[in-house]
Structure 1
Amino acid sequence: MDLKVSPLTKIISLSGFLALGFLLVILSCALFHNYYPLFDILIFLLAPIPNSLFSKSNLDNADFMSDSPSNAQDFGSFLTGLLATSGIALPVVFYHCQLIGLMSCVMSILGGLIIYSSIVVFSWFFHSSWEHEEDALFG
């Protein structure tokens, strides 16, 4: 059973998922009258950028004898991991410093994880479909 999902269905479902993440983070701010968790949105929006900038498809491998990832790819993965971990840790630090409440912390972390995962899934879905389209054109 081969289930084909149209790109429009993917875009609509992922945009709804992304809107849910934004809603959770904004509600964690608005319900408790404290807007520190908005920094979480910024961190989770910036998190996938280093991986996409330093990906294998965007860089030429300087060492032609090596099959391992380049230093730039490792650095991009490190920055992405640093930002994703910071996005989880920032609301926890705000909660520990008593700047936000527990529910605000939980909503902010869940919303940020939903935002980050929807961006990653969006790039994964459409990166694989772009590769298949290129093969169909020239192969």
Structure 2
Amino acid sequence: MALSRSMRACLHSGRLALLAILVSGGIVLQILACALYNNWWPMLTVLMYLILPMPLMFFLGSDNSSVMSNGGDGWVNFTKFLTGASIVGSIAIPAILKHAGVIGWGALAMELSSFVVFGVAILWFLQMSSEDEYSSMF
């Protein structure tokens, strides 16, 4: 059964709306981790969230397939390294803050759940952008 063009556009718009809701939920969790415990140190993680897409934008351009492959030249490997370092930093900053006694368990749980929500949103966005049907529709 083939869907009409308008029905496919509606489904894709719904997926984009759900993706926006995921990102908004991650931002809300990030802010709640700080506001509920009256401690704004967990906002350091936002720096890693801002740094995370930079290597992909600067070094790879529009070629997303080279990130998922095993091979690659020096710039692709450098991009993978910087992206991995940003991901590790996104987990390590709240863990270090908890270990130092700066934040509590609740703030740590919200920070890590924010990371998971952002990770799901990024993976879903990469999956959506790799689909030929989605990119050829608009």
1:15 corresponds in structure 2 to: 20
The runs of at least 4 aligned residues of structure 1 exceeding 6 Å deviation read none
1:126 & 1:77 partners in 2: Cα distance? 19
Within-5 A mapping of 1:1-139: 6-55=11-60, 57=62, 68-129=71-132, 133=136
Larger deviation: 43-52 or 30-39? 43-52
Helix, strand or coil at the partner of 2:131: helix
TM-score w.r.t. structure 2 length? 0.77
C-alpha contact (below 8 Å) 1:56/1:73 kept by paired residues: no
Which amino acid is 2:22 matched to?
F
The Cα shift of 1:106 comes to 1.2
C-alpha contact (below 8 Å) 1:47/1:83 kept by paired residues: yes
1:64 corresponds in structure 2 to: none
Aligned residues: 126
Measured on the aligned residues, the alpha-carbon RMSD in Å equals: 2.7
Higher normalized helix content (fraction of residues): 2
List per-residue Cα deviations over 1:73-110 (Å, max 9, x = no partner): 00001000000110001000000111100110111111
Helix, strand or coil at the partner of 1:6: helix
Helix, strand or coil at the partner of 2:60: coil
2:105 & 2:40 partners in 1: Cα distance? 14
- In structure 1, the gaps of 5 or more residues are 59-66
Which amino acid is 2:40 matched to?
Y
Which amino acid is 1:80 matched to?
T
Which amino acid is 1:94 matched to?
L
Larger deviation: 115-124 or 5-14? 115-124
The Cα shift of 1:46 comes to 2.2
Which amino acid is 1:50 matched to?
P
2:67 corresponds in structure 1 to: none
Q: What is the aligned-residue identity percentage?
A: 25
2:132 & 2:12 partners in 1: Cα distance? 9
1:45 & 1:106 partners in 2: Cα distance? 20
